[in-house]
Amino acid sequence: MSQTWWRGTAIYQVYLRSFADGNGDGFGDLAGLRGRLPYLKELGIGAIWLNPWYPSPMADGGYDVADYRDIEPVFGTLAEAEKFIAEAHELDIKVIIDVVPNHSSTESAWFKQALSDRSVRERFWFRDEPNDWKSIFGGSAWTQVADGQWYLHLFAPEQPDFNWENPEVHREFEDVLRFWFDRGVDGFRVDSAALLFKSEDSYEDLDAVHDVYRRWREIADSYGERILIGEVWLPDQERFARYLRPDELHTAFNFDFLSCPWDPAELRRVIDLTLATHTPIGAPPTWVLSNHDVTRPVTRYGRADTTFAHGGALHGTPSDLELGYRRARAAALLAMALPGCVYVYQGEELGLPEVENLPDAVRQDPMYARSGGANPGRDGCRVPLPWSGEEPPFGFGPAMSTATPWLPQPEAWRKLTAEAQAADLGSMLNLYRSALALRRDLLGDGTLTWLPLGGPDVLAFTRESGLTCVVNLGSEPVRLPPGEVLLASGPLEDGSLPPDTAAWLS
Ligand code: NOJ
């Protein structure tokens, strides 16, 4: 079993705009994040992944990058980013940043140049006639420019797709990787990793993409232990696994697990499938319950249909938040006990629910506008974190700041602030802290052995360290096997594990 950090660590996802506001303008920033590094250290994570921090008009929350070698002024400066990296490293926390190779911003130097100079349009996909492709955010995937040509954008019109047939694009991104590796980042999360190449009839998973990642892997390896994490949404496990061959990306997000309903047979199927996909190629699995694109688990698990559905299909369907909260606690212990890496999306450790009643006027996700309001978009999982105090902005900004956070926080979050939860031993925050601490010594990289225990509604397995995880997804309490209970997601009943509860035993 390899001991390399990236095979088993807990990675905390920071959505910078919504994490902590250091300068009092209502937007999270690097100053806010630096100030909260002790919180993250105490939480017990091993790495931070930041969503794009580059200069951006924010047409898609920063996934419209105007300059890959600088920092968005609302977030701070390049010098501050370097300080942040150094401070995180002092605390033994790795830093992973987002790289967005599929598309750029209409405000990037390259695109502005392409508009005025036809000779450099081959960096993008300009055509005299559009085809019938639809944008993933709704509407056509083509937008016309003043001289009559059209350019391709798989996402918003502000996000023109790069043309990866052009060697200049390869050179550019290889240089961008080096730029940030030279500044100490420990890895990249590769946005839309399967979309780079286009053919006449497809823009997904074309074989040429693998040569790009082989080259990137050489670059990462030349710096020592730096890693590449793929955002690869592919239903076909065999195709998915190709991205994780030993000379390509190190890991990829497990979206099957994230989308899986709260159902014992389905969860077991996904876990087995994940292990069967990863083990033969030696790549560590990852376990993801949420991120900045999906409904928060507390809300999702409280619904009658507990799958994650794209396009906001389940938005606003009734959710029993108490039930969802109980299940989210159990799911956290399950995810953290499984072999491989685990992700924690900011606010997950506070048990925040999805904010489903944002006023339409404040919604910023392009999915909302481009679907004509049919899709509420992803703002509901991006609401600024509640840190302390009794009312909004809940310590999101500096003490005397009167700025309103860029999305409004629900009043009810007074019970969910980090401050309130730190003082409550039974809180979600303290569950995450305890679990992450145990996980560091007893879990992470490796394998599992299923235990035949409690019938089909129970997931039970043991890990190399001897730690046993039992999750009860049925409707009756389950007798626990012998052993000391190290941690449980809820109170036990006479030594039995109640429904929607998980326990770790030694
Ligand atoms: C995936 C990112 O996670 C999402 O937030 C973004 O909108 C798309 N890629 C386009 O970059």
Residue whose Cα lies nearest atom 5 of ligand 1: it is 293
Query: Class of the 447-505 domain?
Result: mainly beta
**Both tokens of residue 140?**
């056509």
Q: Which residue has the tokens 């950090």?
A: 5
Give the residue among 47, 46, 42, 50 at the shortest CA–CA distance from 17.
Answer: 50
Which of 63, 103, 195, 196 has most ligand 1 atoms within 8 Å of CB, for mutation?
63
Q: What pLDDT score was predicted for residue 3?
A: 58
**Residues 103-129: what's their mean pLDDT?**
98
Q: 64 and 157 in contact (C-beta within 8 Å)?
A: no
* pLDDT(401) > 90: no
**Residues 97-116: what's their mean pLDDT?**
98
Which of 158, 253, 293 has most ligand 1 atoms within 8 Å of CB, for mutation?
293
Query: Class of the 109-152 domain?
Result: alpha beta
**Residues 170-191: what's their mean pLDDT?**
98
Residue pLDDT, tens place only, 421-449: 999 999 999 999 999 999 999 999 999 99
* pLDDT(250) > 80: yes
Q: 465 and 443 in contact (C-beta within 8 Å)?
A: yes
**Residues 224-240: what's their mean pLDDT?**
96
What is the 111 CA–ligand 1 centroid distance (Å)? 19
CA distance 119 to 306: 51
Give the residue among 299, 382, 314 at the shortest CA–CA distance from 60.
Answer: 382
**Residues 5-22: what's their mean pLDDT?**
98
CA distance 68 to 172: 10
Determine the atom of ligand 1 nearest the C-alpha atom of 63: 11
Residue whose Cα lies nearest atom 4 of ligand 1: it is 293
Residue whose Cα lies nearest atom 11 of ligand 1: it is 63
Q: Does residue 67 have an active-site annotation?
A: no
Backbone φ, ψ for residue 325 (5° rounding): -65, -45
What is the 75 CA–ligand 1 centroid distance (Å)? 19
Q: What pLDDT score was predicted for residue 1?
A: 33
Question: Cβ neighbours of residue 142 under 8 Å, at least 6 residues apart?
Answer: 127, 130, 131, 133, 150, 151, 152, 153
Of 21, 231, 256, 293, the catalytic one is 231
What is the 296 CA–ligand 1 centroid distance (Å)? 16
CA distance 309 to 315: 9
Residues with CB under 6 A from ligand 1: 60, 63, 100, 155, 191-192, 231, 292-293
Of 191, 354, 365, 500, the catalytic one is 191
What is the 136 CA–ligand 1 centroid distance (Å)? 10
Residue pLDDT, tens place only, 147-174: 999 999 999 999 999 999 999 999 999 9
**Residues 456-463: what's their mean pLDDT?**
98
**Residues 247-273: what's their mean pLDDT?**
98
Residue pLDDT, tens place only, 301-339: 999 999 999 989 999 999 999 999 999 999 999 999 999
Residue whose Cα lies nearest atom 3 of ligand 1: it is 293
What is the 286 CA–ligand 1 centroid distance (Å)? 19
Determine the atom of ligand 1 nearest the C-alpha atom of 100: 11
CA distance 92 to 49: 14
CA distance 54 to 140: 27
Q: What pLDDT score was predicted for residue 29?
A: 98
DSSP 8-class letter at 56? -
* pLDDT(359) > 50: yes
Domain boundaries, the chain: 5-100+254-437, 109-152, 447-505
* pLDDT(254) > 60: yes
Domain 5-100+254-437, CATH homologous superfamily name and number: Glycosidases (3.20.20.80)
DSSP 8-class letter at 353? P
Q: What pLDDT score was predicted for residue 231?
A: 98
Residue pLDDT, tens place only, 62-94: 999 999 999 999 999 999 999 999 999 999 999
Residues 348/350/356/361 CA torsion (nearest 10 deg) = -100
Give the sign of the dihedral formed by CA 81, CA 87, CA 89, CA 94.
negative
Q: Does residue 231 have an active-site annotation?
A: yes
Give the sign of the dihedral formed by CA 306, CA 311, CA 312, CA 314.
negative
State pTM to two decimals. 0.98
**Both tokens of residue 269?**
């199927």
User: What does the angle CA 486 – CA 487 – CA 493 come to, to the nearest 5 degrees?
Assistant: 105
* pLDDT(136) > 50: yes
Determine the atom of ligand 1 nearest the C-alpha atom of 137: 7
Q: 330 and 366 in contact (C-beta within 8 Å)?
A: no
Q: 198 and 142 in contact (C-beta within 8 Å)?
A: no
Which of 155, 162, 188, 191 has most ligand 1 atoms within 8 Å of CB, for mutation?
191
Establish whether the linkage from the previous residue to 393 is cis, with ω within 30° of 0: yes
What is the 51 CA–ligand 1 centroid distance (Å)? 9
What is the 396 CA–ligand 1 centroid distance (Å)? 24
